[in-house]
Amino acid sequence: MATFSLLPTELVEYIVAYLAQHDIYAVCRVNKSLSNLAISFLYRHVDLFIPPGNKLPRIDRFCLNIISDSRKANNVESVRLGLSPSEDVKQGQRWLAPDKTFDDKQMFRKAMVALSDETLVAAGDYLRDAIYMREYSAYAALALLVLPNLRRLDVADYKQATFDHLHNVLRNLDPGTLWNRRYPSQVLLDRLSSIKEVSLMVDRKTGVWYPGDNNRNPIGHFLNIPGIEKLVLFNLGGQSHAHGVAISHSLIAFPTATNITTLVFRHSGAFNRGLKSLFQCTPKLRSLTYDSYFNAQAQTTQRGDLLMVDAWNEHLRPLQSTLEVLVLTAEYSDPDAFFFAQPRIGDRLCGFLDLTDFTELHTLEVAFPFLTGDVDFSITKDIYPLFPPNLRHLTLRPDLSHAQLPFPFDSSILPNGLTFEESKQEAQCLMNARMDVSYMFQASLSLLEFWPTLESMSVWQPADPSLEWFDGQIEDFATTCRNKNITGRLLKPMLLRWKKAEHWDLMRETTLYDRGDPQLGVVDRLWRGEWEGRPLGMGCQYHLGALAKGKVRLRR
């Protein structure tokens, strides 16, 4: 068997690039040559998340290494800070335990040298004392202040309690506030300008949403980072109430224009008026993704419309001269109920999209009800979508259908199996799901006839592979695409196909016909994280919960 030492350097680098951080660390300890090769990858994407169990990562060692070695500091492209969405991970200040093998005096001395010329951090700033006391938040702020080539910053923090020093640094970047008398150095602004992507309250590793209240402080101080082009965030949505009157809190207290071109909301609640302040900060916005997740348990006491699709026509109006890509998804589920006993959103969904004034919009990804207003997937109802005039790429999703939530259920976890009534309910649900899949097939063929400028159509298949289109349906879709000279693709989420939570954002793309290469034939390709610049892993909270609770049958 060949060893690493016999492989070409380029091949070893290619392998290491796919490893997790702890695996790269193991490679670095094999021998000196592998350490020299892998060390740059070890520091490329740094994960300092607080996992379930609350064991703090050694952020002190990381800070000492990047201050002591400019080569390591230059290699850092992304940093992941924050709290896991696991229920046993709580907010609050944290201090690293004393370590006799770590030189705190050297750490403090080098940190003071690094901060000595930074005008944003005053000589008597508490940040300096917090570094000496080994506070997790202080180390996080220090890393932000000294890293020269950071491109992505991920932060998850309930009410800013865990990263108060980090938040203070970002807040002090704004010289426009009356209470702030500090100004960042030009060197610091140049370093921070390298940050192009920020994510807030989003766990990129697990995809699990952050439950909680709606009283988090505004995110405006993150927009003080001067070079942000992409912002990914979680918005609980909804409204607070005072004396029976609904109140919408603005996300941004003082909106100012930014360079953000891509905005992604992950597993968020309903769009409310408070979010309009963020749109005021994005005059250059070209791509918008809004992934809606409604926990039906939390909606039982609320009445009225929940998903007002027609309201999006008004929400998006300020963006119609710049918006090029729009993705709208929806998931409505009760995490504790069987998939066949899920509530339906019914008349709480209102209206449909009218995008006829969006002349720049060329890529659209939505569920069928967003185009039809029909959450019942009525096969007899005519479809008259109000598409943007220059639409080129259309992607259709099974969201809100009976086919969205089913999965191979493991009844062995039940003490007595399903009752007779539950078995009937399961059979009826699967029959309804198959009918909705047939509707989506027929509707896809109909939509291929609508728009002469269409270049590609992609259709998501249900998460449960047993509900995929039949071979005959796939062939009919491919033939129609070929006759229309439209690229046709089927998209398959891999979470329930490979039945591991780590594949929550993995997708298999099957190209049935490629207008750019008509002779190519059927081609399969896997994508993780993003596909054509758009995020993957949306609408999967119910299935992630089912996997975590052992409800999914792992074997046939």
Say what the pLDDT of residue 380 is. Answer: 81
What total of structural domains would you count in the chain? Answer: 3
Give me the pLDDT at residue 40, please: 78
One domain, residues 34 and 54 = no
**What backbone torsions phi and psi does residue 287 show, to the nearest 5 degrees?**
-135, 125
Residue 172 in any domain: the answer is yes
Cα 443 to Cα 397: distance, rounded to the nearest angstrom:
12
The span from the CA of 110 to the CA of 100, in Å, is 18
**332 shares its domain with 456:** yes
In this structure, are 212 and 327 located in the same domain? no
Count CB neighbours of 116 within 10 A: 9
- Structural domain includes residue 298: yes
Q: Do 202 and 291 sit in the same domain of this protein? A: no
CATH (domain of 31): 1.20.1280.50
pLDDT for 516 equals: 94
Considering the domain architecture, whether residues 34 and 131 belong to the same structural domain is answered as: no
- For residues 29 and 141, membership in a common domain is answered with no
Q: Which two tokens stand for residue 437?
A: 């899949």
Burial of 62 (0-12, 13-18, 19+ CB in 10 A): buried
How many whole angstroms separate alpha carbon 412 and alpha carbon 384?
Answer: 46
Last residue of a domain, one of 216, 232, 248: 216
pLDDT at 504: 97
Instruction: DSSP letter for 97, please.
Output: P
At residue 305, the pLDDT reads: 74
**Last residue of one domain, picked from the residues 155, 186, 216:** 216
Q: Mind listing the pLDDT tens digit of every residue in the chain (556 residues)? A: 667 777 788 888 888 888 877 788 888 888 887 888 788 788 889 999 988 887 899 999 999 999 999 989 999 999 999 888 887 777 888 899 999 999 999 999 999 999 988 888 876 678 899 999 999 999 999 999 999 999 999 998 877 788 989 998 898 888 666 566 678 888 999 999 999 999 998 998 999 988 765 445 568 889 999 999 999 998 766 543 333 334 456 778 788 899 999 999 999 888 877 788 889 999 999 999 999 999 988 765 555 678 889 889 988 999 999 999 999 999 999 999 999 999 999 888 989 999 999 999 999 999 999 999 999 998 888 888 899 999 999 999 999 999 999 999 999 999 988 999 999 999 999 999 999 999 999 999 999 988 888 999 999 999 999 999 999 999 999 999 999 999 999 999 999 999 999 999 999 999 999 999 999 999 999 999 999 999 999 999 999 999 999 999 987 6
Q: Is residue 553 part of a domain?
A: no
Contacts 24+ apart (CB under 8 A), 241-250: 248/272, 248/273, 248/274, 249/214, 249/218, 249/274, 250/218, 250/274, 250/276, 250/277
CA distance 154 to 233: 10
Residue 250 forms part of a structural domain: no
184: its two tokens: 């960042």
Q: Are residues 182 and 304 in the same domain?
A: no
**Amino acid identity, position 96:** L
Domain assignment present for residue 190? The answer is yes
Clarify whether residues 30 and 55 are in a common domain: no
C-alpha of 473 from chain center: 32
Residues 17 and 72 in one domain: no
For residue 244, tell me if it sits in a domain. no
State the pLDDT at residue 214. 45
418 and 451 part of one domain? yes
What is the rounded distance in angstroms from the CA atom of residue 490 to the CA atom of residue 477?
A: 10
The C-alpha angle 446, 390, 400, rounded to 5 degrees, equals 45
* Whether 26 and 91 share a structural domain: no
Domain boundary among 216, 237, 256: 216
In a domain, 464, yes or no: yes
Residues 6+ apart with CB under 8 A from 242: none
Tokens 């068997």 correspond to 1
Q: Does the residue 149 lie in any domain?
A: yes
Structural domain range at position 82: 45-216
**The predicted structure's pLDDT at residue 124:** 64
pLDDT at site 1 = 60
Which burial class, exposed, middle or buried, applies to 104 when counting CB atoms under 10 A from its CB (0-12, 13-18, 19+)?
Answer: middle
Residue with tokens 């989506």: 440
209 and 309 belong to one structural domain:
no
The pLDDT value given to residue 59: 94
